[in-house]
Amino acid sequence: AQTVTQSQPEMSVQEAETVTLSCTYDTSESDYYLFWYKQPPSRQMILVIRQEAYKQQNATENRFSVNFQKAAKSFSLKISDSQLGDAAMYFCAYRSFDTGNQFYFGTGTSLTVIP
């Protein structure tokens, strides 16, 4: 089964600075989706960004961008100009095409933004 690893249980960043959250995954598939989700203290999980594996270009969404390294099976999230509202748990997720409709999530990284 695919696994998703987030090696940083906790991270902190100064407001207005940049932070990078790491995610690696294990797979033998060539086609898949990758996601970053954000879960603020209110608990509603929100999509941050999505990357299709067949696309070489890294996805960006305003202050959020990814560094997708397919060969290295790495999918890190960069948050630029961090804001207080960015404080949350961030989950990396993998969507498999070969093993049915399975989604695999990492254990999450808790991000603190320091004013």
Partner 1 sequence: ETGVTQTPRHLVMGMTNKKSLKCEQHLGHNAMYWYKQSAKKPLELMFVYSLEERVENNSVPSRFSPECPNSSHLFLHLHTLQPEDSALYLCASSQGLGETQYFGPGTRLLVL
- Positions touching partner 1 (CB under 8 A) are 4, 33, 35, 37, 42-47, 50, 91, 93, 95, 97, 100-107
Q: Which is nearer to partner 1, 44 or 57 (CB)?
A: 44
Q: Least CB distance from residue 31 to partner 1, whole Å?
A: 11
Q: Which is nearer to partner 1, 18 or 107 (CB)?
A: 107
C-alpha 43: how far from its chain's center? 17
Q: Least CB distance from residue 33 to partner 1, whole Å?
A: 7
β pairing state of 46-52 and 109-114: unpaired
> Which residues, in sequence order, are bridge partners of residue 38?
46, 90
CA atoms of 47 and 95, how far apart (whole Å)? 14
